[in-house]
């Protein structure tokens, strides 16, 4: 099968998005924002709260967890502070959704149009699994900071970040394998 530039561009776009995701994940970590969204809903938290009542409800839910109870309750932490940390965690998850859409929609299109050879198809299924596993690792990491300790497990954080690097490298390898067979 001859090189298909659109498949290569699609895979390299995925690399760019994973890179952005890692940078935003770093900002999320550095701003202590990663525990601001205390629940995971694939659809309902696609947008941040859009009314003051929804912001208040989200903030009240956040107050039930160790990060607020053990750290932020003593720091005169306001809903405005909460909105700031919520933004970074929401943005990190939002980029994850964008990556999923940028992968799945073109993948299905390329599959229907038979523009992916069998070897690359197998690699793309691995990428699909890696993306799902990365989402699980993120959830698994956040869960560790919502129980007793108001910080995520550094082992789980390392797993999440390392797997992001591996996903980036594998995606780049698949693209480069198409560019330079």
User: What are the DSSP calls for 46-100, one per residue?
Assistant: SS---SHHHHHHHHHHHTTSHIIIIIGGGGT--HHHHHHHHHHHHHHHHHHHHHH
157: tokens are: 């954080």
Give the start-to-end residue ranges of the domains of the chain: 5-179
Taking residue 31's Cβ as centre, other Cβ atoms within 10 Å add up to 14
Residue with the bigger pLDDT between 148 and 51: it is 51
| Cα radius of gyration (the chain) | 19
Average pLDDT across the chain, whole number: 92
Percent residues over pLDDT 70 in the chain: 96
Span 128-152, pLDDT tens digits: 999 999 999 999 999 888 888 888 8
Residue 44 has pLDDT above 70, yes or no: no
Q: For tokens 């939002």, name the residue.
A: 94
Whether the per-residue pLDDT at 32 is higher than 60: the answer is yes
Q: Model confidence over 149-166: pLDDT tens digits?
A: 888 899 999 999 999 999
Q: Cα(165)–Cα(22) distance, rounded to whole angstroms?
A: 8
Query: Can you tell me the mean pLDDT for 93-117?
Result: 95
Please indicate whether residue 100 or residue 42 has the higher confidence score (pLDDT): 100
| Residue 78, number of CB atoms within 10 A of its CB | 11
CA contacts within 13 A on the Cβ side of 135: 16
Q: Model confidence at 2, in pLDDT bands (50, 70, 90)? A: low
Q: At what angle do helices 5-30 and 79-112 cross, to 10 degrees?
A: 160
Alpha carbons 121 and 123: distance in angstroms, whole number: 5
pLDDT band, very low/low/confident/very high, at 169 (cuts 50, 70, 90): very high
**Can you say how many angstroms the Cα of residue 122 is from the centroid of all Cα atoms in its chain?**
23
Torsion region of 39: left, alpha or beta (phi above 0 gives left; psi -120 to 50 gives alpha): beta
Q: State how far the Cα of 170 lies from the Cα of 127, in Å rounded to an integer.
A: 8
User: For 5-24, what is the mean pLDDT?
Assistant: 97
Say how far apart CA 67 and CA 167 lie, in whole Å.
30
């Amino acid at each position: 099968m001859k090189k298909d530039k659109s498949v290569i561009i699609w895979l390299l776009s995925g690399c760019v998005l994973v890179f952005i995701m890692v940078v935003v994940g770093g900002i999320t970590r550095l701003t202590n924002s990663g525990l601001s969204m205390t629940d995971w809903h694939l659809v309902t938290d696609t947008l941040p709260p859009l009314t003051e009542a929804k912001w208040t409800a989200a903030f009240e839910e956040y107050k039930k967890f160790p990060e607020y109870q053990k750290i932020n309750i003593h720091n005169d932490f306001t809903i405005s502070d909460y909105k700031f940390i919520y933004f970074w965690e929401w943005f990190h998850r939002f980029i994850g959704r964008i990556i999923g859409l940028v992968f799945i929609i073109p993948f299905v299109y390329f599959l229907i149009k038979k523009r992916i050879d069998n070897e690359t198809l197998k690699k793309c299924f691995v990428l699909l699994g890696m993306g799902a596993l990365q989402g699980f690792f993120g959830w698994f990491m956040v869960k560790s900071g919502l129980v007793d300790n108001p910080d995520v497990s550094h082992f789980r954080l390392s797993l999440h970040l390392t797997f992001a690097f591996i996903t980036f490298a594998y995606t780049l390898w698949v693209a480069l394998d198409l560019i330079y067979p």
